[in-house]
Amino acid sequence: MPALFLGHGSPMNAIEENEFVEGFRKIAAEIPKPSAILCVSAHWETRGTFVTAMENPPTIHDFGGFPRELFAVEYPAMGSPDLAYEAKSIITKTEVGLDDKWGLDHGAWSVIRHMYPEADIPVIQLSLDYYQNAQYHYELARELRSLREKGVLIIGSGNMVHNLRMVAWQQLNDTFGFDWAIEANEKMKHFILNDDHKSLIDYDKQGKAFDLAIPTPEHYMPLLYALAVKDQREQATLFNDKAVGGSLTMTSLKIG
């Protein structure tokens, strides 16, 4: 299977019709149908690493202040305890815990529901250990590569540029970026397309634009999970490559 990084943006993308959700649908139509999905979402941070291992993961509405319509959305995809156990078994970087409480947060279901609206593909989530650095996450993610050969679609869901404190809220739906956001996004894309993963791992050494683009790392780390499972011979293809609200980018990529 290919691997994806999806810029998920606002939770409202789950119920709105726009060019970005069209991009999610288009990419799903272009790739083989997966046997299962393993999603690394910016919205599940833990001490240690966990994987959801229940048969029926609940839809988590992990946000506030949005319309009632959004809270009514359910994404009833099955889980996959078998895939959870397999992920646990192939990761040697750390001990992986099996979780029966989390479910699917909006970093996962808000994008996957557009790709697979029938909810007919099992989905599990792998958490982000917020005590670990980028190099650690990249090395852990590399251990997941073999799952691609078994039909598992690995999705990292976050945003390459994500600074909520600087969002132009009155223009949140407008496709524009502040100068620093565009600068950081362009440099990230250059590193991605040139397989310069080291510079992306060392994101905190790339200057002021990167500092503003990544004030906290949780939305950036899922990008490293997608890149880490890339084979050297594969190409990365960009889509949904636009900024919104000044300080967010929806830039997404397909590997393979």
pLDDT of residue 169: 81
How many structural domains comprise the chain?
Answer: 1
pTM above 0.85, yes or no: yes
Domain range holding 249? 3-255
For residue 67, the domain's CATH number is 3.40.830.10
182, 244 in Cβ contact below 8 A?
no
CB atoms within 10 A of CB 39: 26
Separation between Cα atoms, residue 57 and residue 52, nearest integer Å: 8
* Phi, psi (rounded to 5 degrees) for 82: -65, -45
Q: Helix, strand, or coil here: 198?
A: helix
pLDDT (tens place) for every residue of the chain, 256 residues total = 999 999 999 999 999 999 999 999 999 999 999 999 999 999 999 999 999 999 999 999 998 888 899 999 999 999 999 999 999 999 999 999 999 999 999 999 999 999 999 999 999 999 999 999 999 999 999 999 999 999 999 999 999 999 999 999 888 778 999 999 999 999 999 999 999 999 999 999 999 999 999 999 999 999 999 999 999 899 999 999 999 999 999 999 999 9
Q: What 3-state DSSP class applies to 192? A: helix
50: three-class secondary structure by DSSP: strand
pLDDT of residue 170: 83
At a CB cut-off of 8 Å and minimum separation 6, what does 133 contact?
A: none
